[in-house]
Chain A
Amino acid sequence: MQNSDTSFIELSARERARRLLDEGSFRELLDPFEQITSPWLERQGIVPAFDDGMVVAKGTISGKPAVVMAIEGVFQGGSMGEVSGAKMAAALELAAEDNRNGIPTQAVLLFETGGVRLQEANLGLAAIADIHAAIADLRRYVPVVGISTGTVGCFGGMSIAAGLCSYLIVTREARLGLNGPQVIEQEAGIEEYNSRNRPFIWSMTGGEVRYNNGFADAYVEDSVNQVKQAMNDCLKQGVPNQFRSDQYDYYLTKLNTVDTRKQVEAADVTALLGRGDRK
């Protein structure tokens, strides 16, 4: 079955991680049998999960050591709690340590997450800060590849994590943004952002538009083979000359030309940041 292609989005987090690693190399760390669950959810009447919605798997990719971290979007919207967040942070920290010790462990992050789990609010936020710290450390040695394919999207503090990755891969079904549509509508009003208008939301934060406007490096179909191919291409490129998150001069120059007296439309963003304008 190795060569037959299937949907990536329909796979569970665990299966996604397994498919991205070399066949037979998948080894899960802190798997569900360890039963390390959230210490905060049951107190709120929420049934916890034995993996806390985070799969961490070691193995190889193209024969080289790798760790894949996959967020399970089905559990609590892929939200980051204390345990799930610590699993991701710890794995990234150990991968960086590996690299300092001469083992070139590469990292792949699968983002299907609404961001902080509000039931564990400040500990989720702290874990996300740790994840940011660890990505910034690790990406100096090896590529840290982020992948967001759908259907949960990648939001909140985890969209910042995605923005720190060396490379980012998206599908059309992906969405990438800091604030979820409901929160923007709550804070700024329906005129500013209509959380029920799906075409509008995809025109702002959808995978295709993010790729076209330079916020992602690869745009792929919902296909295991295509996701894997794009991941391999990113890993092969090595550490980029400049991280997207270091491009403040480019973005500040662009943003300072924006006429913000009128509300922005999708076409305005493409005109400002679209790939047509790049090399």
Chain B
Amino acid sequence: MSKTILSRGDFWFSLLTTDAKLRHGQCASVKVADGKISHKPARFIAVVPDADNQFPRASQGEVGLLEGWTLAKMVDEVVEADKNKTEKTAIIAIIDVPSQAYGRREEAFGIHQALAGAAGAYAKARLAGHPVIGLIVGKAMSGAFLAHGYQANRLIAFNDDGVLIHAMGKASAARITLRSVESLERLAASIPPMAYDISSYSKLGLLYQLLNITNVQQPSPLEVDLVKQTLIDAINDTLKQGVDLSNRLQAKDRQASALVRAKMREQW
């Protein structure tokens, strides 16, 4: 366990990997440990702040160039290692990513490609039969979430004010849509996909479980057990249902997505 807690993501990574073996050698902002969850092999991965990050725009837990490519490598490593095994290691992505890295270096050196590396690796793992579970303990923003978590078979989130899922930060979203932050917030109150809070998000049918934790930063041992049990349930559920993401398409507030698929199949 790390001595200083860098972030919520780091904290939950520590709680879930007490008996796991830390992997060393990759960039400091991507923590990886191999252990077990209910006797099943699992690799835990978290993106954490690194004040000394070589790329300064990615020092606060953002997913940048090194993080994207490193996530790709860490996930692919498991897929390669398990290539000939029937029991595939579960991959647990602990998600607390405030954003992708916004910067000139990032664009210049192709951050879009680094994030494609990560998203592609998670998808490849899922298609190879690895249960991939995303545990959202803090922020899950935009491109960072697409790179670290959105390819998971199952998403679990904490029902907590500090949990935010969105396509863009409020100030930027307001600027791009030529609205004030206030009018953006007013709209978000009645249009669920625009909202930033986790209870609005949960109406979109994209979550497997929404967990109540009294204090996310000081959970009781029982609550930590609940999280572990939910991860195990998610793994088992995934193994039963298979590799695709169709389980996300059931919600009332995501009706059009299902309608389009049905019509497309009809006309295909």
Partner-B contacts on A (CB < 8 A): 29-30, 34, 36, 38-40, 43-44, 56, 58, 82-83, 85-87, 89-91, 93-94, 115-116, 118-130, 132-133, 136-137, 140, 156-157, 159-164, 176-180, 182-184, 186-188, 192-193, 204-205, 213, 215, 243-249, 251-252, 255-256, 258, 260, 263-264, 266, 268-269, 272-273
Q: How far is the CA of A189 from the CA of B233 in the complex (A)?
A: 45
- The answer to whether A160 touches B260 (Cβ under 8 A) is no
CB distance from B56 to the nearest CB of A (A): 7
Interface string of B108-130 (1 = CB under 8 A from A): 11111111110111011011000
Quick one: which of B143, B151, B265, B268 contacts A178, CB cutoff 8 A?
B143
CB distance from A188 to the nearest CB of B (A): 5
Q: With A163-B112, A193-B104, A260-B56 in contact, do A82 and B143 touch (Cβ < 8 Å)?
A: no
Quick one: which of A127, A193, A255 contacts B103, CB cutoff 8 A?
A193
CB-CB under 8 A from A118, the residues of chain B are 167-168, 173, 176-177, 194
- The answer to whether B127 touches A137 (Cβ under 8 A) is yes
Q: How far is the CA of A91 from the CA of B105 in the complex (A)?
A: 35
Q: With A123-B193, A123-B204 in contact, do A91 and B104 touch (Cβ < 8 Å)?
A: no
Residue B256 interfacial (CB < 8 Å): yes
Q: How far is the CA of A81 from the CA of B70 in the complex (A)?
A: 30
CB-CB under 8 A from A127, the residues of chain B are 257
CB-CB under 8 A from B70, the residues of chain A are 248, 252
- The answer to whether B256 touches A82 (Cβ under 8 A) is yes
- The answer to whether B206 touches A245 (Cβ under 8 A) is no
- The answer to whether B263 touches A251 (Cβ under 8 A) is no
Q: How far is the CA of A123 from the CA of B57 in the complex (A)?
A: 27
CB distance from A11 to the nearest CB of B (A): 24
Closest A residue to B152 using CB positions? A129
Residue B107 interfacial (CB < 8 Å): yes
Quick one: which of B127, B151, B268 contacts A58, CB cutoff 8 A?
B268
Q: With A36-B259, A122-B165, A163-B116 in contact, do A29 and B268 touch (Cβ < 8 Å)?
A: yes
Q: How far is the CA of A134 from the CA of B166 in the complex (A)?
A: 21
Q: With A29-B268, A163-B113 in contact, do A122 and B193 touch (Cβ < 8 Å)?
A: yes
- The answer to whether B257 touches A184 (Cβ under 8 A) is no
Quick one: which of B116, B167, B253 contacts A160, CB cutoff 8 A?
B116
Interface string of B141-183 (1 = CB under 8 A from A): 0110111001100000000000001111101110111000000
Q: With A30-B263, A133-B245 in contact, do A128 and B146 touch (Cβ < 8 Å)?
A: yes
CB-CB under 8 A from B117, the residues of chain A are 163, 245-248, 251
Q: How far is the CA of A204 from the CA of B112 in the complex (A)?
A: 13
